[in-house]
């Protein structure tokens, strides 16, 4: 595979990971290699409005997937109803995709996928069978 | 910048593209001619058992469409040079009506006399094409 | 033995799958109007798709990432969305052309109006996407598509006048057509040979079939042997039209005209074989463009995708494909001429090419993705030369289309 980046689990490790290059817009795969989303944004720990000396640096809490990507494209602010959080503690590896340590069934799932599956696709004949 | 380049390119091409000398009458005759030859050649293959009837029927349908297109082009062009357009109209209409009759009858009934009629239409088209050339 | 069989199967399906409605129609139109004087474009185009598909397949096999995932990673969401909009629209146009092509070919076989075949064709495409395994789908359409070799048979039966064809091929600009028309068809042929969906499909298919570095040899062989042989068939189609239609002044505007030389050369049997070959080739391409519609959207938005999963496991992916087929069906139901849709689609393919080509070229040189498999120096020289060519074709395409009134 590709050159692996160090998993940035330890806060004091000082490993440099370029968020824009190696995190944002990368696919997220579950433990079986199934795509479960794409990193649309990052959630950081709280940054106080007034930074005093000795304030601990912010850290990445979660990878965020959802329509927030539209803000990155078009700018502006809109309400965030449908954001999915993938906690940093589930990240197993940063490679050509972000590999997560959990199966898709234990990860958040977008409502549209669920709705289309239950209401449309699974109801059509053969919708639950693997082709072939 | 890119838009301006595109515009300049389009202008150059428009100038080079205007070299065509054909007018509407000539174009329509050429188109009708192509339709008649196409139908004739496919009809010949059918009579020689070298093409399926379904295919040749489609050929006749398509040829008829093409001849109808040629007629329509002439109607749009009747304002300029009415003499030439009228000359073209006569033969293009004649060719279209031969194709129309043969297509309507179905290629199952096609015989040598049908091909002869197409050849006659073709000769007329050729003669007029030559006349328009002058 | 089994291995030889697999290698041969890969090459044969690559040949049979190379041609689609765009190649078939554009080559016949060009042959009937310009003879072989645009043959050089086919040669240049085929070499281009070899370079391009080889890189895309290599990137997919080594990094496990398909083309549109990379486009978003490399260009960022804003550029990638613009890219997606253009690529998706053009793919939809190609999808419409392919479904129309199936219907036209079925009309030739049955003389039942193609409009009645359009819903049948679209439904059949959906059914295969929904139920048939990836490899079976590829192998069956590819192998039946090999019947298009009939064009080469017809070409030789017509007794080619090599001197005349050679003169046409050497003479760059025929006098009876305007330069703008000539260059318009040069761009159209280039776009027909290098359609972007081929790359979406090739790379996503590689991921679906779980290619790894050890499959690179087979991939290279499929591309470097299969595609040029497919290009040879393109030349045969143009050659048939040049031999049988150009001299009698028939300019190709319908699919029925494309196959007339075949009937003339080989009679009913060869005609039937070719029609079946066209059905298979357009059907295969309709499948590939339908899947590409799902692939591009799913990869941009991070949806679960894959034909080898149960549809319920990739609901948005499958819904996208259904919606696209319905849109294509709707467009064709208006009665718009599928041959016209085809001609427009190959020109827009040329416009969209740089959008897919550039990210692939960049990633193929990125050691973060490719490790030791980054492009060799020679491949990079070829890759960059082609990027220049693709850029010129893309910029010239729309002005040429407007000036010539789509090649009239």
How is residue C266 written in tokens? Answer: 């080989």
The neighbour count for residue A101, using CB atoms within 10 Å, is: 12
Residues 97-126 of A with CB under 8 A from C: 97, 104, 112-114, 116-117, 120-122, 124, 126
Round to the nearest angstrom and report the end-to-end CA distance of chain C: 52
From the list C251, C263, C396, which residue is nearest B50 (CB)? C263
Q: How confident is the prediction for chain A on average, in pLDDT?
A: 84
Distance of CA B126 to the CA centre of its chain: 11
Bridge partners of A64? A41, A85
- Between β-strands A84-87 and A35-38, what pairing exists: parallel, antiparallel or unpaired? unpaired
Q: Dmax of chain C from CA atoms?
A: 59
**CA distances to B41, B61, B125, C30, C403 from B27, in Å:** 21, 21, 12, 18, 18
The residue behind tokens 């591009």 is C296
Cβ distance C130 to A124 less than 8 Å, yes or no, reads yes
Per-residue pLDDT tens digits for C299-318: 999 999 999 999 999 999 99
Which range among B5-19, C287-301, C306-320 shows the weakest confidence by mean pLDDT?
Answer: B5-19
- The predicted pLDDT at position B3 comes to 57
Residue A130's closest chain C neighbor by CA? C310
From the list A26, A72, A126, which residue is nearest C130 (CB)? A126
As a residue count, chain A comes to 132
Q: How far apart are CA B100 and CA B93, in angstroms?
A: 10
Within-domain flag for B15: no
Per-residue pLDDT tens digits for C44-94: 999 999 999 999 999 999 999 999 999 999 889 999 999 999 999 999 999
Residues 139-168 of C with CB under 8 A from B: none
**Domain assignment of residue B113, given as a range:** 22-133
Residue A132's closest chain C neighbor by CA? C133
Burial of C129 from C-beta contacts in 10 A (0-12 / 13-18 / 19+): buried
Chain C: nearest CA to A11, how far in angstroms? 24
CB distance B29 to B128 below 8 Å: yes
User: Which residues, at least 6 apart from C73, have a Cβ–Cβ distance to it below 8 Å?
Assistant: A25, A26, C65
The number of C-alpha atoms within 13 Å of C390 and in the hemisphere containing its C-beta is 31
Q: Place A14 in a pLDDT band, splitting at 50, 70 and 90.
A: low
Cβ distance A3 to C368 less than 8 Å, yes or no, reads yes
Q: Is A47 on the interface with C (CB under 8 A)?
A: no
Q: How confident is the prediction for chain C on average, in pLDDT?
A: 94
Provide the number of CB pairs (under 8 Å) joining chain B to chain C: 91
Q: Is A82 on the interface with C (CB under 8 A)?
A: no
From the list C250, C268, C396, which residue is nearest B37 (CB)? C250
The residue behind tokens 């003479």 is C171
CB distance C23 to C98 below 8 Å: no
- The predicted pLDDT at position C3 comes to 82
Per-residue pLDDT tens digits for C237-275: 999 999 999 999 999 999 999 999 999 999 999 999 999
3-state secondary structure of A85: strand
More confident residue, B21 or C10: C10
How is residue A20 written in tokens? Answer: 């824009």
Q: Place B53 in a pLDDT band, splitting at 50, 70 and 90.
A: very high
How is residue C140 written in tokens? Answer: 């069956």
CB distance C26 to C185 below 8 Å: yes
**Domain assignment of residue C212, given as a range:** 2-404
Residue C192 reports pLDDT greater than 80:
yes
Within-domain flag for A109: no
Closest CA to C342 of C293, C399, C282: C282
φ and ψ at residue A53, rounded to 5 degrees: -60, 135
The number of C-alpha atoms within 13 Å of C197 and in the hemisphere containing its C-beta is 32
Share of chain A above pLDDT 70, in %: 85
The residue behind tokens 């309709």 is C286
From the list C180, C259, C267, which residue is nearest B17 (CB)? C180
Q: In CATH, what number is assigned to the domain containing residue A82?
A: 2.30.30.240
CB distance C241 to C261 below 8 Å: yes
**CA distances to A105, C143, C167, C183 from A62, in Å:** 18, 49, 67, 53
Over residues A55-59, the mean pLDDT reads 81
Q: In CATH, what number is assigned to the domain containing residue C383?
A: 1.10.4160.10
User: Which residues, at least 6 apart from C102, have a Cβ–Cβ distance to it below 8 Å?
Assistant: C117, C121, C124, C125, C279, C282, C283, C286
Cβ distance C302 to A35 less than 8 Å, yes or no, reads yes
- The predicted pLDDT at position A5 comes to 43
- The predicted pLDDT at position A9 comes to 47
- Between β-strands A91-94 and A98-100, what pairing exists: parallel, antiparallel or unpaired? antiparallel
From the list B5, B38, B61, which residue is nearest C250 (CB)? B38
Q: Is C179 on the interface with B (CB under 8 A)?
A: yes
- The predicted pLDDT at position C74 comes to 86
Chain B: nearest CA to C89, how far in angstroms? 22
Per-residue pLDDT tens digits for C17-42: 899 999 999 999 999 999 999 999 99
Q: Place B19 in a pLDDT band, splitting at 50, 70 and 90.
A: very low
Q: How far apart are CA A27 and CA A35, in angstroms?
A: 7
CB distance A37 to A90 below 8 Å: no
3-state secondary structure of C408: coil
Residue A1 reports pLDDT greater than 50:
no
Cβ distance A132 to C134 less than 8 Å, yes or no, reads yes
From the list C136, C299, C315, which residue is nearest A116 (CB)? C315
Q: How far apart are CA C298 and CA B130, in angstroms?
A: 59
Q: How far apart are CA C151 and CA C18, in angstroms?
A: 14
Share of chain B above pLDDT 70, in %: 81
Q: How far apart are CA C25 and CA B50, in angstroms?
A: 23
Within-domain flag for B11: no
Share of chain C above pLDDT 90, in %: 86
- Would you tell me the crossing angle of helices C377-404 and B2-17 to the nearest 10 degrees? 60
Helices and strands (H and E) in chain C: how many: 18, 0
Within-domain flag for B9: no
CB distance B87 to B78 below 8 Å: no
- The predicted pLDDT at position B9 comes to 57
Chain A: nearest CA to C6, how far in angstroms? 19
Share of chain C above pLDDT 70, in %: 100
φ and ψ at residue A27, rounded to 5 degrees: -70, 150
Touching partners of C (3+ C-beta pairs < 8 Å): A, B
Residues of C in contact with B29 (CB under 8 A): none
The residue behind tokens 């809490």 is A61
Q: How many domains would you assign to chain A? A: 1
Bridge partners of A86? A63
Q: Is C115 on the interface with B (CB under 8 A)?
A: no
Q: How many domains would you assign to chain B? A: 1
Q: Is C303 on the interface with A (CB under 8 A)?
A: yes
3-state secondary structure of C198: helix
3-state secondary structure of A75: coil
Cβ distance A124 to C132 less than 8 Å, yes or no, reads no
Closest CA to C79 of C362, C318, C383: C362
Residues of C in contact with A128 (CB under 8 A): 310-312
- The predicted pLDDT at position B17 comes to 45
Cβ distance C319 to A130 less than 8 Å, yes or no, reads no
Residue A60 reports pLDDT greater than 50:
yes
Round to the nearest angstrom and report the end-to-end CA distance of chain A: 29
How is residue B27 written in tokens? Answer: 């174009």
Kind plus residue range of the DSSP H or E element containing C36: none
Q: Judge A/C contact: 3 or more CB pairs < 8 A.
A: yes
Q: How far apart are CA A94 and CA A4, in angstroms?
A: 7
The number of C-alpha atoms within 13 Å of B120 and in the hemisphere containing its C-beta is 10
Q: Is C371 on the interface with A (CB under 8 A)?
A: yes
Q: Place A48 in a pLDDT band, splitting at 50, 70 and 90.
A: confident
Q: How far apart are CA A114 and CA A62, in angstroms?
A: 22
- The predicted pLDDT at position A12 comes to 55
- The predicted pLDDT at position B5 comes to 56
Per-residue pLDDT tens digits for A97-111: 999 999 999 999 999
Within-domain flag for A126: no
User: Which residues, at least 6 apart from C105, have a Cβ–Cβ distance to it below 8 Å?
Assistant: C255, C275, C278, C279, C282
From the list C80, C131, C315, which residue is nearest A131 (CB)? C131
Cβ distance C263 to B42 less than 8 Å, yes or no, reads yes
Q: How far apart are CA A104 and CA A109, in angstroms?
A: 8
How is residue B71 written in tokens? Answer: 């007629």
**Domain assignment of residue A86, given as a range:** 19-104
Q: How far apart are CA C366 and CA A53, in angstroms?
A: 40
ipTM score for this prediction: 0.92
Residue A6 reports pLDDT greater than 80:
no
């Amino acid at each position: 595979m590709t050159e692996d980046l160090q998993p940035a689990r330890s806060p004091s490790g000082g490993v440099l990971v370029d968020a824009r290059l190696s995190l944002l817009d990368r696919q997220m795969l579950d433990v079986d290699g199934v795509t479960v989303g794409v990193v649309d944004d990052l959630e950081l720990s709280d940054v106080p409005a007034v930074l005093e000396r000795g304030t601990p640096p912010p850290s990445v809490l979660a990878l965020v997937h959802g329509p927030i990507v539209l803000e990155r494209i078009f700018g502006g602010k809109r309400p965030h109803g449908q954001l999915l959080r993938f906690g940093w503690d589930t990240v197993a590896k940063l490679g050509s995709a972000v590999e997560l340590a959990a199966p898709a069934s234990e990860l958040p799932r977008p409502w549209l996928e669920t709705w289309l599956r239950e209401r449309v696709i699974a109801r059509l004949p053969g919708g639950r069978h693997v082709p072939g | 910048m890119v838009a301006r380049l595109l515009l300049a390119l389009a202008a150059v091409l428009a100038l080079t593209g205007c070299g065509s000398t054909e007018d509407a009458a000539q174009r329509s005759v050429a188109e009708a001619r192509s339709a008649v030859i196409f139908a004739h050649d496919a009809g010949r293959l059918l009579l020689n058992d070298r093409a399926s009837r379904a295919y040749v029927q489609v050929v006749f349908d398509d040829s008829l469409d093409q001849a109808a297109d040629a007629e329509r082009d002439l109607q749009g062009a009747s304002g300029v040079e009415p003499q030439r357009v009228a000359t073209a109209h006569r033969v293009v209409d004649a060719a279209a009506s031969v194709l129309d009759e043969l297509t309507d009858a179905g290629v199952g009934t096609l015989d040598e006399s049908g091909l002869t009629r197409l050849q006659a239409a073709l000769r007329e088209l050729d003669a007029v094409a030559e006349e328009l050339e002058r | 033995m089994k291995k030889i069989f697999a290698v041969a199967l890969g090459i044969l399906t690559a040949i049979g799958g190379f041609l689609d409605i765009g190649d078939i129609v554009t080559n016949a139109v060009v042959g009937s109007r310009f003879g072989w004087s645009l043959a050089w474009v086919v040669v240049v185009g085929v070499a281009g798709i070899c370079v391009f598909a080889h890189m895309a397949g290599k990137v997919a096999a080594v990094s496990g990432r398909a083309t549109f995932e990379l486009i978003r990673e490399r260009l960022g969401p804003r550029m990638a969305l613009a890219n997606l909009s253009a690529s998706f629209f053009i793919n939809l146009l190609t999808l419409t052309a392919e479904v129309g092509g199936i219907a036209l070919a079925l009309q030739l076989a049955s003389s039942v109006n193609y409009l009645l075949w359009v819903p049948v064709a679209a439904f059949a495409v959906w059914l295969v996407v929904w139920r048939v395994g990836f490899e079976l789908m590829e192998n069956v359409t590819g192998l039946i598509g090999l019947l298009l070799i009939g064009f080469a048979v017809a070409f030789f039966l017509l007794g080619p006048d090599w001197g005349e064809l050679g003169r046409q091929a050497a003479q760059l600009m025929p006098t009876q057509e305007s330069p703008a028309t000539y260059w318009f068809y040069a761009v159209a042929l280039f776009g027909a040979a290098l359609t972007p969906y081929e790359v979406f499909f090739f790379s996503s298919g590689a991921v679906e079939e779980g290619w790894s570095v050890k499959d690179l040899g087979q991939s290279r062989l499929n591309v470097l042997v299969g595609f040029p042989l497919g290009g040879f068939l393109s030349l045969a189609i143009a050659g048939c039209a040049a031999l049988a239609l150009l001299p009698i002044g028939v300019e190709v505007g319908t699919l029925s005209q494309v196959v007339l030389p075949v009937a003339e050369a080989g009679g009913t049997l060869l005609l039937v074989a070719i029609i079946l070959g066209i059905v298979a080739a357009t059907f295969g391409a309709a499948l590939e463009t339908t899947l590409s519609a799902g692939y591009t959207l799913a990869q941009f938005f991070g949806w679960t995708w894959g034909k080898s999963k149960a549809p319920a496991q990739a609901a948005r992916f499958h819904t996208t494909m259904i919606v696209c087929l319905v849109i294509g069906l709707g467009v064709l139901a208006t009665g718009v001429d599928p041959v016209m849709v085809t001609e427009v689609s190959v020109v827009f393919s040329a416009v969209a090419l740089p959008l897919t080509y550039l990210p692939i070229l960049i990633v193929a040189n990125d050691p973060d993705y490719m490790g030791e498999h980054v492009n060799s120096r020679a491949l990079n020289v070829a890759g960059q030369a082609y990027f220049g060519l693709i850029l010129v074709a893309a910029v010239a395409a729309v002005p040429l289309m407007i000036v010539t009134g789509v090649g009239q």
